Amino acid sequence: MTLVDSVLADKIGLCGPKDPLSLRWTDASVQNEENSRRVSLTICGENGEKFKIDNARTVNKLNLPLQSVNVKKLQKRWTHLGMAPVSSLIGAQPKILIGQDNCHLIIARDVIEGPPNAPVLSNTKLGWVIHGNVQMYKQMSKDQPTFSTWSNSDERLHEMVKESFKTESFGVNPPKKTLMSVENEKALQILEKTTHRTGNKWETGLLWRTDPSVLPESKTMAIQRLKSVATLTKSQQRK
């Protein structure tokens, strides 16, 4: 079956009936998806052609391995890879896993091969795909990127993630302003808007954690306290 990450499904507004799903993976582990939904969506290939996918199932945290490929670097080593338009990827994480119920979208319509053990190009209705053995290419060159391939162990997945973080174009920028909680940020805004100098003193508004414009009902409690004070006063006067 075709699986869709539930976060993506919510983001693009996919709706469908709830239908609990139980998935069994290769290591006999079972994943129960009590909130899985049956949804329909339209997917577009790189050539602009659109295809309808029906009866896909949503799952929480699809968690497919990150995919990275530097096409220009590969083409320098294997010239046959320049015979088809393929885009580079940097730490891309698939959010849809197309299953055999939509195999017409992923089967190879055309194949371009190079020397033995070289990466292979296949043409599908969704576009061109690079296939290859990740571990083999790592042995050939330490700088060789990873290809579209499945991880069959935690160790291999760990290595793929490490490789994606080594990409030269990957950047980490520190935040331009100091991060703070919502409450502190609101208090700072009140401080900046209301603080002013009066004579030789400074005045500022109360730094509320929440909006004080809607206050709780207090009349009932005030009347009860007033009655209690009146009763106590009468009692003391009688004595």
**Tokens 């129960």, residue located:** 32
The tokens describing 192, both together, are 């900046």
Three-class SS state of 206:
coil
Q: Report whether pLDDT(173) > 70.
A: no
To 10 degrees, the CA torsion angle through 133, 136, 137, 141? 170
Q: What is the pLDDT of residues 35-90, one digit of tens each?
A: 999 999 999 988 889 999 999 999 998 888 888 888 888 888 889 999 999 888 88
Would you say residue 4 has pLDDT above 70? yes
Q: Where are the domains of the chain?
A: 3-165
DSSP bridge partners of 120: 131
Q: Of 126, 114, 60, which is closest to residue 87 (Cα–Cα)?
A: 126
Q: What type of residue sits at position 78?
A: W
Higher local confidence (pLDDT), 190 or 108: 108
Closest of 57, 14, 10 to residue 34, by C-alpha: 57
**For residues 142 and 99, which has the higher predicted lDDT (pLDDT)?**
99
pTM of the model: 0.54
**% pLDDT > 70, the chain:** 76
**pLDDT for the residue 145:** 43
